[in-house]
Amino acid sequence: MYYFTAAFFNSKLRCVANLTILKQINRVDNLISLRSVSTQKRTCPLLSVQPVRGLLDEKFQIAVTNLPPNQKVTLHSLHQSDDKDFWEAFGHYVSDEHGSVTGFKDESLGGTYDGTEPVGLLWSMRPIPGSRHGLRLRKRDIFRPMEVRISVYNGHLSQGFSHQAPLATSVTERWYVAPGVKRVNIREKEIRGTLFLPPGSGPYPGVLDLWGGGGGLVEYRSALLASHGFASMALEYLAPEDLSLEDTDASYFEKAYQILNNHPMVKKDHLAVLGLSLGSAITLNMVSYSKVIKPQCCVCISGSHLMPVEKSLSELFELMKNHEDKLCVNEDNQVIYRNLILSLPCQSGKVDVGRIKCPLLLVNGDDDQNFPAVESAEDMAMMMDKAGNRHLLEILTYPDTGHLIEPPYSPHFRATKYKLQWTKERIVMLWGGQTKPHAYAQEDAWKKILAFLWQHLSAP
């Protein structure tokens, strides 16, 4: 049974839509209960999802039994986000001669994914029909699980799930935090962030986690890193409280790095910096020029060395505002950002990556429509080869993959709403990528990022 407060509803229209869905879910629950006590049929389909509780980056196994042989069925997932929007995915299957369907070995014949995809019901999720435009699924409260309702329906359905009674239903919980992970608020020297500590007595290798230009304090990746043994600090750096963009300069990131390095639960001088998008551009600037930030390694996801942060973020955004005529808009009114970055002053604006002294992992998608990440990686390789530090560089480039390379099994977002920092204008940003290859890239990249961090941070 599901319970929601009045705060669930943001508008009259969403109130009606969501209330309708909740009534339909309750109706379905009642139908399931009636079916379970029916004396007319001694066996009914059984649905198993294992593990019932697991980390977000952990695969689950779905099995349906007690079906008639060769029966067409649809596996369906439904999730209500922290923003109160509903997301779904579904796959079409046919039971075998024993009346069973197993998600980890049977092929989906259609739906939001196809083929043998054990976690397709997660990474192919999309907003249900009638949802708000340009949504992005992001976890805001990491101490509450991502609850996913898995159901099996008779026949091959592609819509109208809320109007049908499922044959069986189960709920699985996907967590960003492992048991025992601690969350510590960081409010020191104007620094705003959150430190996540693994279970145990420590000390642990540390990761300074920088997200992109969307702003805010984004915690879920750091929480997942802590679940894998790293003391990870998610840093808010786009106009946090009591700090303007004019004051957010190299010293802000240096202070954050020192706070992390000096924390009693962090292994001193065993730190990495991990950045996505603008966070990657800042990472490259800091590890190239800072006399304070000296990590043992760094990871840059979908970044570029063409964005100088010489003084403050305010000056960087002003530079970009002066080149906003280079922004392109496609036929769907989605903004393509990458040409703006390519138009920035080339020679004077490049970060001198030849100065980098630590191992550097670049993770890029070749359909990135937001940053020229692939071109930047090629140029960085040439610069580092000329400077004699090319041996420190490792590049992962994934086909048909977009800009937002998230932790594994996160849904793919080709385009979402976004607020430009220098105008505060809300647009629809094109990120790029195709759903299945993007999902493969997220899974593979996460494994290699974790391995890279352990390789370079686990030394005595």
Residues identified as active-site: 277, 368, 403
Q: Is residue 130 classed exposed, middle or buried when 0-12, 13-18 and 19+ CB atoms within 10 A define those classes?
A: exposed
Rounded Cα–Cα distance for residues 119 and 411 (Å): 11
Bridge partners of 249, per DSSP, are: 312
Instruction: Kindly state the tokens that stand for 339.
Output: 């040409």
Residue with tokens 């009606």: 16
> How far is the CA of 190 from the CAs of 212, 223, 237, in angstroms?
20, 22, 10
Three-state DSSP class for 266? strand
Contact at 8 Å (CB) between 365 and 427? Answer: no
Beta-carbon contacts of residue 399 (< 8 Å; ≥ 6 apart): 366, 367, 437
Helices 278-289, 250-261: axis angle to 10 degrees equals: 80
Backbone angle region of 134, left / alpha / beta, with phi > 0 → left and psi within -120 to 50 → alpha: left
Give helix then strand counts, H and E, for the chain.
Answer: 10, 21
Contact at 8 Å (CB) between 103 and 122? Answer: no
Residue with tokens 């001198």: 352
Q: Which of 404, 408, 329 is closest to 363 using CA atoms? A: 404
Residue with tokens 């998230």: 406
Q: Is residue 347 classed exposed, middle or buried when 0-12, 13-18 and 19+ CB atoms within 10 A define those classes?
A: exposed
